[in-house]
Amino acid sequence: MSLLMDSTSSSLLLCPPPYLTKDETGALVFDSSFLQKQANLPTEFMWPHGDLVHNEDELKEPMIDLEGFLKGDEVATAQAAELVRTACLNHGFFQVTNHGVDISLIHSAHEEIGKIFKLPLDKKLSVRRKPGDVSGYSGAHAHRYSSKLPWKETFSFGYHGDDDSVPLVVDYFKSVLGKDFEHTG
């Protein structure tokens, strides 16, 4: 928080930094667009070394090759499945090679999601994730931290396959972000 002391009185005014604003409910909201224009990382995002986990070991997340799986090789499929299981239990993530996803599709996906994060804050907040829901925008999760903030924002959505009662990804993007984002889904 920024502190402002009036030299003519003993009152203290507290005001949030410009990258934290309040929404219609009074909750603090992280505005990442402000931070993108800054030359230096604000101190609220710098965590003391004592709060950080120190580990001399380099994280060696598993690399999972799906080539055998895609070719129908049962042994390679079993090995890949075991690597995924172990990675999820030990790390929570892994890298995949030979997955068959076209690199141009991956680049396009990055471009599209970048457009979402560049939207004005009020538009992102209009599609905010509701409590108990998995889909929508979420900012820095400032409510979880008292003095230090994680620098992140997310946009999540689910895919529900052929279930006609739940809209597909295209319908979701179009319904929450508008026709301009229909192709994002």
Q: What is the 3-state secondary structure (H, E, C) of 111-147?
A: HHHHHHHCCCHHHHHHCECCCCCCCEEECCCHHHCCC
pLDDT given at position 83:
93
Q: For residue 65, what are the CA distances in angstroms to 17, 69, 101, 107, 158?
A: 46, 8, 13, 21, 25
pLDDT given at position 11:
43
pLDDT given at position 112:
87
As given in the structure block, the two tokens for residue 130 are: 């509701």
Rounded to two decimals, the pTM is 0.59
Averages of pLDDT over each 10 residues, the chain, 185 residues: 39 56 69 70 69 67 91 96 92 89 92 87 85 81 53 76 64 81 75
Q: What pLDDT digit, counting tens, does each position of 161-180 carry?
A: 666 655 577 777 888 888 88
- Angstrom distance (rounded) from CA 103 to CA 115: 19
- Angstrom distance (rounded) from CA 172 to CA 155: 12
pLDDT given at position 156:
84
pLDDT given at position 61:
77
- Angstrom distance (rounded) from CA 76 to CA 66: 8
